[in-house]
């Protein structure tokens, strides 16, 4: 353990959990309403970021206009995908649904490569890369206080991501549509029999998943650049979702922050093997969750009746 | 499995009732087909022979996946990870210990099976989607292990060169010479998996797939059979991985990726879950689509002027993804089912029912 670096890496780790939380939120939104685990969420994120890039860099629109346009387009993409690919799968076995989203992920990945090419591209900076925030912590090491240096984009991505999660959470809790979505997630048939239009609700949840994926994609692209491997981030969001509980919005946030923290903490180690395990840390956590508490921290435990 | 037999054909004995190949002309056709495959080097091009090699190896991996996913209903997106295990084990046994390939291949299969057992352990507690996530974990942890562990032996992310298998002085160093090996293995695995599926073991698998609670009440030991399915599936993956590694003569953590696992699952669905014919048809069609993407890519790019320069690479996932989605919507039981329908229609001709 490198104690001097511990606070730095712990804080950076937690902050990097912010954008992961947005992706995890998209997964939870879809799972909550329709019991579909969307393996194509990473490609949603990639396409959202690419569309933003295309509008702002290729077309020369102001960045925030480009983001707004990309948000609208990705919501549409979500609706189209739900209508064309997932609705025919209603009532099909789990395997078909999993394979549908996996097939979708491959198709969208191919589409992204076809339309935009595979080169690394510069994404417009949203936050100044210079003058990072310096925070003096109360911890003393070798008679000097430990200073934590935080890049602006990391801090602001985190703040925006948290705001997004809170906003969506409030939407679920306090609006009529949110109430309808919660009712749908309890039981599809029951919700339909009370007159809710559950098809519309599936559409809305896929559109929202597209929105948050694009938001996450833009935040990630602005801090780490944009190429076709951006979708790989989603692979650390899967374990975060399971850790938090598949159908829990606060769980998505807490799970992502814990995953970020765990990755940060492994990076502090002085043993190379442990330090390098940061990349598979999410999956070690995942295995632990599956063995100890499969429903996750905040998830609903489903009891099987015969 | 609805048995549809032609009119006028009767079972004279139990053995005849159980026989897979029932008629003399079926034997003739089958043997002619196998002979045609083995004699491919006499009349087919090098390119086609390496294509057949690739298909045959995919068939083995998909047959394993079929036992686990098709018959037992446990969805795995980690099959490629167990191929990695198989590839590394046989390569290391030959390189470091000087084993013959024909000892290293079964050893690789067994080794992959044992690792598969380990990742099947969560099936004690979780099922369905959660188990899928456990196999996804295998897909990350195993390649990571080959990159990070024992750098002297595994050479990190660079990977290792894999020795050429040889029979005496006859080195299997070209697609033509490799072909009989892959064909023989695929023949054996086909016979074994077909017979597993219709034995006590296979019936237990199907019972677990169709209703695990009912199966348990009838005395099927769920955990035991699920682990056996994981073991068998990984043994197949180990065989396929080892064959592929010795075919490519190089292996690293990127040889078999998550995308390959997805492709293997896709092959299974396109071919038909829970059938013996499915893996063969599925692997053939998907590998052919991949091939078509390579051939058609430049043509389409020439016709449609807009291109970002990566059309060929883009068409592979695009074709596969779209084909898989179309199959799931329009023919979820796969090509094997379609083949059954065609056969039934032929037998009932000229009547429609």
Mean pLDDT of A179-196: 86
Residue pair B17/B11 in contact by the 8 Å Cβ criterion: yes
Angle at A124 between CA B318 and CA A55, to 5 degrees: 55
Q: pLDDT higher for A194 or B349?
A: A194
pLDDT digit string (tens) for B126-171? 888 888 988 999 999 999 999 888 888 888 888 888 888 888 788 8
Which whole-number Å values give the CA distances from B97 to A211, B94, B101, B235, in the listed order? 55, 6, 11, 21
Residue A195 backbone phi and psi in degrees, to 5? 100, 5
Mean pLDDT of A285-291: 87
Q: Is the pLDDT of residue B283 over 70?
A: yes
Neighbours of B22 (CB within 10 A): 15
- Report yes or no: A287 at the B interface, CB cutoff 8 Å: yes
Task: Say which of B69, B310, B325 has its CB closest to residue A107.
Answer: B325
Q: pLDDT higher for A147 or B57?
A: B57
Task: Say which of B136, B313, B324 has its CB closest to residue A113.
Answer: B313
* Lookup: tokens for B138: 């295998």
**Interface touch A109/B317, C-beta < 8 Å:** yes
* Lookup: tokens for B227: 């682990």
Indicate whether B168 belongs to any domain: yes
Indicate whether B27 belongs to any domain: no
What does the alpha-carbon distance between residue B171 and residue B101 come to, in Å, rounded to a whole number? 11
Indicate whether B262 belongs to any domain: yes
Residue matched to tokens 């990097």 = A16
**pLDDT (0 to 100) of residue A257:** 92
**Interface touch B141/A280, C-beta < 8 Å:** yes
Q: Is the pLDDT of residue B298 over 70?
A: yes
Mean pLDDT of A8-29: 87
Element (H, E) at B19: none
Q: Is the pLDDT of residue B1 over 60?
A: no
Q: Is the pLDDT of residue B309 over 60?
A: no
Residues of chain B in contact with residue A286, where contact means CB-CB under 8 angstroms, are: 133-134, 136-137
Q: Across the A/B interface, how many CB contacts are shorter than 8 Å? A: 139
Residue pair B204/B214 in contact by the 8 Å Cβ criterion: no
Indicate whether B24 belongs to any domain: no
What is the CATH classification number for the domain harbouring B84? 1.10.3470
Indicate whether B158 belongs to any domain: yes
Please tell me which residue of chain A has the smallest CA distance to B297.
A114
Indicate whether B239 belongs to any domain: yes
pLDDT digit string (tens) for A141-153? 777 777 778 888 8
- Look up the ipTM and state it: 0.89
Domains plus CATH for chain A? 3-292 (1.10.3470)
Residue pair B88/B251 in contact by the 8 Å Cβ criterion: yes
Mean pLDDT of A174-195: 87
Residues of chain A in contact with residue B314, where contact means CB-CB under 8 angstroms, are: 110-111, 113-114
Residues 6+ apart with CB under 8 A from B317: A106, A107, A109, A110, A113, B259
- Give the residue among A268, A281, A263, A298 at the shortest CA–CA distance from A15: A263
- Give the residue among B197, B253, B226 at the shortest CA–CA distance from B83: B253
The count of structural domains within chain B is 1
Q: By residue range, what is the domain housing residue B127?
A: 42-348
What does the alpha-carbon distance between residue B32 and residue B119 come to, in Å, rounded to a whole number? 41
What does the alpha-carbon distance between residue A139 and residue A116 come to, in Å, rounded to a whole number? 48
Q: Is the pLDDT of residue A4 over 80?
A: no
Confidence bin at A306 (pLDDT 50/70/90)? low
Cis peptide leading into residue B350 (ω within 30°): yes
Task: Say which of B307, B316, B321 has its CB closest to residue A103.
Answer: B321
Q: Which of A219-228, B84-93, B285-294 has the lowest mean pLDDT?
A: A219-228
| Range 280-319 of B in CB contact (< 8 A) with A | 307-311, 313-319
DSSP code, position B165: P
Mean pLDDT of B37-41: 90
Indicate whether B178 belongs to any domain: yes
pLDDT digit string (tens) for A104-155? 999 999 888 888 877 778 887 777 767 777 777 777 777 777 777 888 888 8
Confidence bin at A305 (pLDDT 50/70/90)? low
pTM for this model (two decimals) = 0.91
* Lookup: tokens for A306: 């015969």
Indicate whether B124 belongs to any domain: yes
Mean pLDDT of B30-39: 93
B contact test, residue of A44, A283, A292, A299 with most B CBs within 10 A: A283
């Amino acid at each position: 353990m490198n104690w001097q670096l511990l606070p730095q890496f712990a804080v950076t780790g937690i902050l990097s959990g912010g954008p992961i939380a947005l992706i995890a939120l998209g997964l939870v939104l879809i799972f909550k309403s329709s019991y579909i685990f969307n393996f194509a969420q990473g490609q949603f994120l990639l396409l959202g970021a690419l569309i933003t890039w295309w509008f702002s860099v290729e077309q020369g629109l102001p960045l925030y206009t480009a983001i707004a346009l990309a948000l609208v387009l990705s919501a549409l993409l979500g609706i189209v995908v739900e209508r064309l690919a997932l609705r025919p799968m209603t009532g099909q076995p789990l395997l078909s649904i999993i394979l549908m989203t996996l097939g979708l992920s491959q198709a969208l990945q191919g589409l992204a490569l076809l339309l935009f090419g595979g080169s690394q591209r510069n994404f417009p900076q949203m936050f100044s890369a210079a003058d990072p925030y310096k925070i003096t912590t109360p911890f003393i090491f070798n008679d000097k206080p430990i200073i934590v240096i935080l890049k602006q984009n990391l801090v602001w991505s985190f703040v925006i991501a948290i705001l997004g999660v809170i906003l969506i959470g409030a939407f679920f809790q306090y609006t009529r549509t949110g109430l309808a979505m919660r009712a749908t997630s309890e039981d599809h048939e029951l919700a339909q029999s009370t007159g809710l239009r559950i098809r519309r609700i599936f559409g809305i949840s896929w559109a929202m998943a597209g929105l948050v994926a694009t938001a996450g994609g833009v935040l990630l692209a602005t801090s780490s650049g944009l190429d076709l491997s951006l979708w790989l981030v989603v692979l650390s969001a899967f374990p975060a979702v399971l850790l938090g509980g598949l159908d829990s919005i606060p769980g998505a946030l807490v799970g992502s922050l814990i995953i970020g923290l765990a990755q940060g903490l492994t990076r502090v180690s002085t043993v190379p093997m442990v330090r390098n395990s940061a990349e598979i840390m999410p999956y070690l956590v995942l295995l632990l969750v599956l063995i100890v508490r499969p429903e996750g921290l905040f998830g609903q435990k489903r009891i099987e009746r015969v | 499995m609805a048995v549809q037999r032609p009119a006028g054909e009767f079972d004279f004995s139990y053995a005849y009732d159980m026989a897979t190949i029932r008629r003399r002309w079926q034997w003739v056709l089958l043997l002619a087909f196998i002979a045609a495959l083995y004699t491919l080097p006499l009349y087919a091009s090098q390119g086609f022979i390496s294509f057949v090699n690739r298909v045959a190896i995919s068939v083995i991996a998909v047959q394993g996946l079929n036992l686990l996913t098709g018959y037992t209903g446990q969805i795995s997106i980690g099959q490629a990870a167990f191929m990695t295990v198989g590839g590394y084990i046989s390569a290391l046994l030959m390189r470091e210990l000087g084993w013959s390939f024909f000892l290293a291949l079964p050893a690789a299969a067994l080794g992959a099976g044992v690792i598969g057992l380990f990742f099947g352990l969560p099936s004690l507690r979780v099922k369905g989607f959660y188990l899928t996530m456990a196999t996804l974990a295998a897909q990350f942890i195993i390649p990571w292990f080959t990159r990070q562990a024992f750098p002297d032996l595994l050479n990190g992310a660079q990977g290792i060169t894999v020795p050429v298998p040889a029979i005496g002085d006859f080195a299997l160093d070209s697609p033509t010479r490799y072909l009989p090996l892959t064909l023989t293995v695929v023949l054996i695995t086909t016979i074994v998996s077909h017979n597993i599926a219709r034995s006590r073991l296979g019936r237990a698998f199907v019972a677990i797939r169709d209703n695990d609670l009912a199966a348990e009440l009838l005395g099927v030991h769920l955990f035991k059979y699920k682990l056996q399915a994981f073991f068998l599936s990984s043994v197949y993956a180990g065989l396929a991985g080892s064959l592929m590694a010795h075919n490519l003569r190089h292996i690293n953590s990127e040889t078999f990726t998550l995308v390959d696992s997805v492709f293997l699952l896709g092959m299974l669905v396109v071919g038909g879950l829970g059938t013996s014919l499915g893996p063969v048809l599925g692997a053939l069609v998907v590998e052919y689509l991949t091939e078509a993407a390579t051939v058609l890519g430049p043509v389409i790019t020439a016709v449609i002027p807009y291109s970002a320069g990566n059309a060929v690479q883009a068409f592979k996932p695009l074709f596969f993804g779209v084909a898989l989605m179309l199959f799931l919507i329009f023919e979820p039981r796969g090509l094997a089912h379609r083949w059954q329908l065609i056969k039934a229609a032929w037998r009932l001709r000229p009547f429609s029912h």
